Amino acid sequence: MTSDGTIARLVSELLKELGEDAKREGLERTPDRVEKALRYLTSGYDKDPREVLNDALFVEEYDEMVVVKDIDVFSLCEHHLLPFIGKCHVAYMPRRKIVGLSKIPRLVDMYARRLQVQERLTTQVAGTLNDVLQPRGVAVVIEAIHLCMLMRGVEKQNSKAVTSAMLGAFRDRPETRAEFMDLIKAGRGLQI
């Protein structure tokens, strides 16, 4: 999407409605900055999840669990347009197809860069990997703090939301699910 200045004009109006002078020194460039930030933070709408993954799909005879954990997540809550921030952990059990490891965080970012709720973000990542890879199972867990809870409303500073989506073997086999949960709880053994 290209900028036509509409968002900046609306932000200027919003500042006036809040009782601010949008022309004062500290705010004169704020509408343009907010437009640029919002366009970046919602840039996931312009991407197709299959295109994010398809150029890195490979046939491989690997059938053990693949886990990518501690993926940073930054998104905007669709209810208040305030950030939620956390970690995403993804696993899948291949059935002949694997995906390049860097594509999993890119998929998470693509969906996170939309107005979101954590529950939908979790299921979108799991559903897309399940559809594209057709693995024996997919698991996604997201742990996040929501600024709408920390800064307003209940103002609970230590609250964290945890959501999960378990498909295939992760849903049907408690031992597979437990292995995944143990792996994502494990301490960081690799420091680079």
Name the active-site residue from 88, 89, 118, 124.
118
Provide CATH 3.30.1130.10 ranges for the chain. 51-185
Contact 118, 165 (CB under 8 A): no
Name the active-site residue from 146, 175, 179, 191.
146
The domain over range 51-185 is classified in CATH as 3.30.1130.10: yes
Q: Which residues contact 89 (CB under 8 A, 6 or more apart)?
A: 67, 68, 69, 70, 71, 139, 140, 141, 142, 180, 184
Name the active-site residue from 77, 88, 89, 116.
77
Name the active-site residue from 20, 143, 148, 179.
148
88 is known as an active-site residue: no
Amino acid at 138: V
pLDDT of residue 152: 77
Name the active-site residue from 28, 78, 119, 134.
78
Name the active-site residue from 13, 28, 79, 134.
79
Q: Which of 111, 121, 107 is nearest to 163 (CA)?
A: 121
- What pTM was computed for the model? 0.91
6-17 vs 30-41: helix crossing angle, rounded to 10: 120
Name the active-site residue from 20, 80, 143, 179.
80
191 is known as an active-site residue: no
List the chain residues with pLDDT less than 70: 1-2, 153-156, 187-192
Q: Which of 96, 68, 81, 100 is nearest to 37 (CA)?
A: 81
In the chain, alpha helices (H): 6-17, 30-41, 49-54, 103-112, 118-133, 147-151, 169-172, 174-185
78 is known as an active-site residue: yes
